[in-house]
């Protein structure tokens, strides 16, 4: 029994399965990879497909594309789910594929759904078969294949990224489901515009979520006196209780959202930073993870241009420990907004990295005698600390003397012209001029 036929043995097929396209002409969306004239469409139409990996969020058509291929190819099409298959089954499939090609000249296409669930050893089983052309692989994954799939498999496959469906594409799918006899055409269902708009906004580009909501609302709504099932905003909201967020704390969506959050703070867009912050909270991201990112970027992106940013970041972390969620969302948001709106400078990052680079690439230099520890018997006799000048004994609490080892020029910290660093820059320039004269 394959995954395409499994639902038939479980009873009535879900609407999403009944409405699955049979051909590429019926397929909605993903024009960038299966639109007319594209490489993938030509390969499918000519039955000349090589190994491919379909990557994208749920409900965007990965399995449906595999189904369309199974309907159009002359090759033996075998499908398995990585959640239930193992090494033994994969070896049997490959052995039969070799026999099929050798004795009947017939190719084998192996579709593996959720390939990221296969461990490294299981993925390695496929390599010789792909290398020798015994099997053509079609793999589907919701996770970034560059993170989850072996490099050797990636090098033997083309990767096609599927995008969340646009609202007009989702509407086309819903309209066809309402009209078609294999869908809900026999139920005489009407959907208010407000209800449809609610679904289009809350299903996050996932056609399966949309069709499941449509089916649930239709089957749980009683017909009126005219025999029509009218779905309004109340029924639509009941069918989709909360907006669905694509977010896996160990996956691609997690890193993309965090990246957007960080870049919005760095890019001085308070609204965008707050939006991505809210997205992470809504998806139940660990608030400690979020507050750690806030602390990092208070220093990395604001730094000494506005040191208050670091203080607020730490205050947010302290509030999280003392208050917990959801109350801590407010001081955390305060820190996010302050960082986004603060003057920006990455001079701290460049300074410390330059100093670390100097230490890494230069031989260790001795500490100058006048800077050495003088608090032990015999130190003075060795000249330790004898010539040291105490800055507080001099005007403006500054005195010219050498602080770096011989041969080290420094110049790591270069204050920007932003915020409070303007004052720091002016002060350091004055001191450095006095040093240069001495």
Q: List per-residue pLDDT tens for the chain, 438 residues long.
A: 354 554 444 447 889 999 999 999 999 999 999 999 899 999 998 888 889 999 988 899 999 999 999 888 888 999 898 888 888 899 999 999 999 998 999 999 999 999 988 888 888 888 998 988 899 999 999 888 888 888 888 888 999 999 999 999 999 999 999 999 889 998 889 999 988 998 988 888 899 999 999 999 998 988 888 888 999 988 888 888 655 555 555 555 677 888 899 999 999 999 999 999 998 888 778 889 999 999 999 999 999 999 999 999 999 999 998 888 888 999 999 999 999 999 999 999 999 999 999 888 888 888 888 888 887 777 777 777 788 888 898 888 888 888 888 888 888 888 888 888 888 888 888 887 776 665
Q: How many CA atoms lie within 13 A of 37 on its CB side?
A: 1
- Phi and psi (nearest 5°) for 412? -75, -45
Label the pairing between strands 76-81 and 108-113.
Answer: parallel
Of 179, 170, 150, nearest to 18 by C-alpha is 179
Find the helix or strand (DSSP H, E) in which 272 lies: helix 270-282
Distance between CA 72 and CA 436 in Å, rounded? 79
d(CA 67, CA 69): 5
How far apart are the C-alpha atoms of 239 and 414, rounded to whole Å? 58
In this structure, what are the phi and psi dihedrals at residue 135, rounded to the nearest 5 degrees? -135, 140
Could you give the CA distance from residue 303 to residue 343 in angstroms, rounded to a whole number? 9
> Max alpha carbon distance in the chain (Å)?
108
pTM of this prediction?
Answer: 0.63
Residue 20: CB atoms within 10 Å: 19
Domains recognised in the chain with CATH numbers = 6-161 (3.40.50.300), 167-239 (1.10.8.60), 252-341 (1.20.272.10), 366-437 (1.10.3710.10)
């Amino acid at each position: 029994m394959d995954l395409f036929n499994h639902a038939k043995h479980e009873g009535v097929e879900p609407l999403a399965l009944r409405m699955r396209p049979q051909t590429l002409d019926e397929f909605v969306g993903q024009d960038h990879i299966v639109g007319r004239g594209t490489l993938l469409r030509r390969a499918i139409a000519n039955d000349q497909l090589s190994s491919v990996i379909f990557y994208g969020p749920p409900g965007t058509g990965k399995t449906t594309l595999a189904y369309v291929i199974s309907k159009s190819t002359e090759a033996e099409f075998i499908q398995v789910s990585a959640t239930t298959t193992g090494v033994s089954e994969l070896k049997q499939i490959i052995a039969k594929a070799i026999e099929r090609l050798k004795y009947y000249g017939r190719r084998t296409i192996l579709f593996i759904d959720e390939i990221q669930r296969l461990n490294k050893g299981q993925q390695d089983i496929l390599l010789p078969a792909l290398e020798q052309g015994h099997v053509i692989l079609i793999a589907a994954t919701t996770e970034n294949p560059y993170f989850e799939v072996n490099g050797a498999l990636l090098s033997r496959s083309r990767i096609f990224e599927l995008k969340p469906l646009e609202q007009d594409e989702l509407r086309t799918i819903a309209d066809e489901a309402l009209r078609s006899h294999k869908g809900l055409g026999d139920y005489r269902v009407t959907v208010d515009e407000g209800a449809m708009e609610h679904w289009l906004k809350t299903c996050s580009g996932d056609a399966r979520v949309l069709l499941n909501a449509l089916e649930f609302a239709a089957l749980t709504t009683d017909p009126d006196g005219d025999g029509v099932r009218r779905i309004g905003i109340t029924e639509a909201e009941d069918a989709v209780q909360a907006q669905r967020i694509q977010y896996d704390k160990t996956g691609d969506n997690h890193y993309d959202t965090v990246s957007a959050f960080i870049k919005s703070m760095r890019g001085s867009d308070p609204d965008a930073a707050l939006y991505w912050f809210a997205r992470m909270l809504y998806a139940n991201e660990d608030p400690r993870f979020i507050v750690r990112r806030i602390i990092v970027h208070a220093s990395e992106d604001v730094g000494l241009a506005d040191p208050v940013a670091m203080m607020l970041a730490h205050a947010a972390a302290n509030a999280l420990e003392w208050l917990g969620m959801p109350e801590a969302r407010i001081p955390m948001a305060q820190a996010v907004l302050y960082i986004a709106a603060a003057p920006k400078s990455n001079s701290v990052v460049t300074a410390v990295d330059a100093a670390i680079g100097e230490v890494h690439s230069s031989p260790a230099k001795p500490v100058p005698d006048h800077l050495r520890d003088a608090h032990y018997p015999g130190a003075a006799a060795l000249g330790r600390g004898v010539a040291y000048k105490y800055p507080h004994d001099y005007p403006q609490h500054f005195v010219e003397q050498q602080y770096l080892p011989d041969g080290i020029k420094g110049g790591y910290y270069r204050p920007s012209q932003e915020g409070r660093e303007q004052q720091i820059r002016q002060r350091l320039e004055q001191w450095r001029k006095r040093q240069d004269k001495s």
